Chains A and B, each alone.
Chain A
Amino acid sequence: MIYREAGQFKTSYAADQAIFPIVQDRVLVTLGILVAFLVPPLVADEYWLQAVLIPLVIYALAALGLNLLTGYAGQLSLGTGGFMAVGAYAAFKLTTSFPALNILVVFVLAGLMAAVVGIVFGIPSLRIKGFYLAVATLAAQFFLIWLFNKVPWFVNYAASGTITAPPRTVFGVMVTGPLATAPVRYVVALGLLAVFALVAKNLVRGRVGRSWMAIRDRDIAAEIIGVRPLRTKLLAFAVSSFYCGVAGAEFVFLYLGSAETLAFDITLSFLVLFMIIIGGLGSILGSFLGAAFIVLVPIFLTNAPHHVGLVMPVALQKQIELMVFGALIIFFLIVEPHGLARLWQITKEKLRLWPFPH
């Protein structure tokens, strides 16, 4: 009843090919974007923005990138942390070498740098697949982190070995550095996410996305019908690494402020992989839902005992958190192996008929 497409006739090809062909979707998405842009900066306090919403938006971008590679092109990657590190360090080097360059341009250039590195580490994907490829991407993860640790040039010879976001402005507004306010950083991160999500959505429903999916479903068959594996796989690695690189640059410049290589270690790779699997492989919406789940659940688990009035030692709480988190992952996989995005799809199908199920 609520979510019904009956009576919505398409009278032109353009209308038929629209990203959101159904009115309800358009309204929902527009409302969602408006709320996301307007409400948190006005309502949320510093803690919510800094500890929840900004990382959420940045993780969503990284998850989107990995989902393009793993969910759409079917190439399992555990090197996300490494590619994000490339983006972060490239952005740092660029903006300290060319302070006049607009920071948004720096983000994009850093993403391109990550894309080049992604292509290099994507080359083995032409011969190996599945878990073997996952281990191969681990090589990228460990090698890149080691490289950034060992070569002091990357941190401008800072004795501490950390990179720090210098103050930069966009159109007169302070965006990075210690003086940038949380609402500004949030809006910038969200704006980038919105633009890149739109690009990703259009990529995956066009020729590129279809060739990715063909490769994912059966690479030999795809090759026979004329999809070039070399180009397609490397393009998937490049685009995915670009997204991860931008997310990595944002991670340091908009969220952490300063970081060492430790911030980009293997746990980050796994975290982003969780996001897309919990959210739904091969779904743009799923990347967002998964990022929200992985960011919000630990925060909820940390705060829940306080609200019920339970007081326990920090260590014990940390351990229970781990257990609940692990159990939740298993639970979700058993209940819905195709992720939160699939749950949303089921809900939509139910809403079509609701409240008259016949």
Chain B
Amino acid sequence: MTEILHGLVAPFADIASNPSFFAEVLIGGIAAGLMYSLVALGFVLIFKASGVFNFAQGVMVLFAALTLVGLIERGAPVALALLLTVGVMVLLAFAIERVVLRPLVNQEHIILFMATIGLNFFLEGFGEMLWGANVKRLDVGIPDTSFKIGNVLVNRLELTAALTAAVIVTVLAVFFQKTSIGRALRAVADDHEAALSLGIPLKTIWTVVWSVAGLVAIVAGIMWGAKSGVQFSLSLIALKALPVLILGGFTSVPGAIAGGLIIGVCEKIAEVYWGPLVGGAIENWFAYVLALAFLLFRPQGLFGERIIERV
């Protein structure tokens, strides 16, 4: 018993004795968290506007990264490849709206959720058929090296990812609050029918939202691809984005960011300091248990809309 107690308490002593290492862990966690946030953002956008829980977001990230790398490999300059990838993602959004969403209007959420899982399979096969299944290296010109601020090592790539995420969130916030399309999006999110009766075209809105989610997927794809190579496992980060969503709330853009940061930091700290106690590799489930514990106290997440139920 004393050993267990000692094991639980000792890491705090470690933290106190080596603050610069703790700062590094913290920064690593923040960076990882921002990467999760980027993926979670795509989920939130689509869920907000169409109530669809888009399971295919992870594969969209993979697909975007594969397309970009494939185009660059075939000799396209980076800027052109990026432009083409954007085009592909927008086309994809049109296709999804036309083929998947429109025939399924008014269906239950779980049906739409299943449809996106079907989409998940389709895109996975399609992407690999087009561009091959090998692990590819994505070089965006940012070296994956570190420099020192004071006593603390900071990774350039992670820093860039953090800045990009910040920029995207700002742009999205402005887009949602200030533009007329953004206002229409919020109207659709509030109430489909009321929005329709005001003359807001649902089709266009959905296409726009899926396109924006596609663009966010490109950014996430570039960041994750530059970090760990473009490969199938990229699509699995979608699963990591789920606890982030829970923590932040399914409908909140800032929530996705905050949730990502909390999950990233807690996960890293738990893994580094408490992981060895139970044999390591707790990163796989720690985020879920954290989200679960959180849900018991606040079912709608940090920033989610309050759930009001009537009979």
Residue ranges of A at the interface with B (Cβ–Cβ < 8 Å): 76, 124, 127-128, 130-132, 135-136, 138-139, 142-143, 146, 149-150, 218, 220-221, 224, 266, 270, 273-274, 277, 281, 315-316, 318-330, 333-334, 337
For this complex, 22 residue pairs linking A to B, each with C-beta atoms less than 8 Å apart, are A76-B110, A127-B295, A135-B291, A136-B292, A138-B288, A139-B288, A139-B291, A142-B284, A146-B284, A150-B281, A218-B311, A224-B311, A266-B239, A281-B110, A318-B125, A319-B129, A323-B129, A326-B122, A329-B121, A330-B119, A330-B122, A337-B111
> Across the interface, which residues of B come within 8 angstroms of A330, CB to CB?
99-100, 115, 118-119, 122
A277 to chain B: closest residue by CB:
B114
Pick the residue among B129, B292, B310 that contacts A124 (CB under 8 A). B292
Pick the residue among A274, A320, A321, A337 that contacts B104 (CB under 8 A). A337
Known A-B contacts: A128-B295, A132-B299, A322-B121. Give 4 more (CB < 8 A): A135-B243, A320-B125, A323-B126, A329-B118
> Across the interface, which residues of A come within 8 angstroms of B53, CB to CB?
131
Establish whether residues A220 and B309, one from each chain, have CB atoms under 8 Å apart when the complex forms: yes
B53 to chain A: closest residue by CB:
A131
Chain B interface SS verdict (over half)? helix
Establish whether residues A333 and B111, one from each chain, have CB atoms under 8 Å apart when the complex forms: yes
Q: Indicate whether B205 reaches chain A with its CB closer than 8 angstroms.
A: no
The number of chain B residues with a CB under 8 A from chain A is 48
Interface mask (B288-311 → A, CB under 8 Å = 1, otherwise 0): 110110011001000000000111
Establish whether residues A320 and B129, one from each chain, have CB atoms under 8 Å apart when the complex forms: yes
Chain A interface SS verdict (over half)? helix
- Known A-B contacts A132-B295, A326-B120, A333-B111; A150 and B279 likewise in contact (beta carbons under 8 Å): yes
For the complex, give the distance between the alpha carbons of A135 and B80 in Å.
39
For the complex, give the distance between the alpha carbons of A322 and B110 in Å.
21
The minimal Cβ–Cβ distance linking A334 to chain B, given in whole angstroms, is: 4
Pick the residue among B114, B121, B284, B299 that contacts A128 (CB under 8 A). B299
Establish whether residues A139 and B289, one from each chain, have CB atoms under 8 Å apart when the complex forms: yes
A322 to chain B: closest residue by CB:
B125
The 5 A-B residue pairs whose C-beta atoms are closest, nearest first, are A322-B125, A326-B121, A326-B122, A329-B118, A139-B288
